[in-house]
Amino acid sequence: MGRKFTIPFLHYSKPPKIQENFLATLLAIVLRGPKSKAVATIRKPPGAMTLHTAAGARKYLNVVERQRFAAAAATLAPEPRAFCLLLMWSGCRISEGLAVTPLAIDREAGVIAFVTLKRRKSSIVRQVPIPKKLIEELTKVFNLREREQDAHLRGMRLWRWSRSTAWRWVKVVMKRAALSGSAAMPRGLRHTFGVAAFQAVPPHIVQRWLGHASLRTTGIYGDVSGHEEHLFAERIWESW
Domain map (residue ranges) of the chain = 4-42, 63-230
pTM summary value: 0.76
DSSP 52: B
| 81 touches 74 (CB < 8 A) | yes
d(CA 196, CA 77): 27
Phi, psi of 79 (to 5 degrees): -65, -50
d(CA 129, CA 228): 24
pLDDT of residue 119: 63
CATH 1.10.3210.10 fits 63-230, yes or no: no
| 173 touches 185 (CB < 8 A) | no
pLDDT of residue 240: 80
Per-residue pLDDT of the chain (240 residues; tens, 9 = 90+): 555 444 443 444 444 544 555 545 544 544 454 444 433 333 444 445 789 999 999 999 999 999 999 999 999 999 999 999 999 999 999 999 999 999 999 999 999 999 987 766 667 899 999 999 999 999 999 999 999 999 999 999 999 999 999 999 999 999 999 999 999 999 999 999 999 999 889 999 999 999 998 999 999 998 887 776 787 788 888 888
For the chain, how far is it from start to end, CA to CA, in angstroms? Answer: 57
| 124 touches 211 (CB < 8 A) | yes
DSSP 177: T
- Residues with Cβ < 8 Å from 132, sequence gap 6 or more? 110
211: left (phi over 0), alpha (psi -120 to 50) or beta: left
Residue 182: its H or E element: none
| 164 touches 95 (CB < 8 A) | no
d(CA 98, CA 114): 10
Taking alpha carbons only, the member of 209, 48, 195, 57 closest to residue 126 is 209
CA quadruple 207, 196, 58, 40: dihedral positive or negative? negative
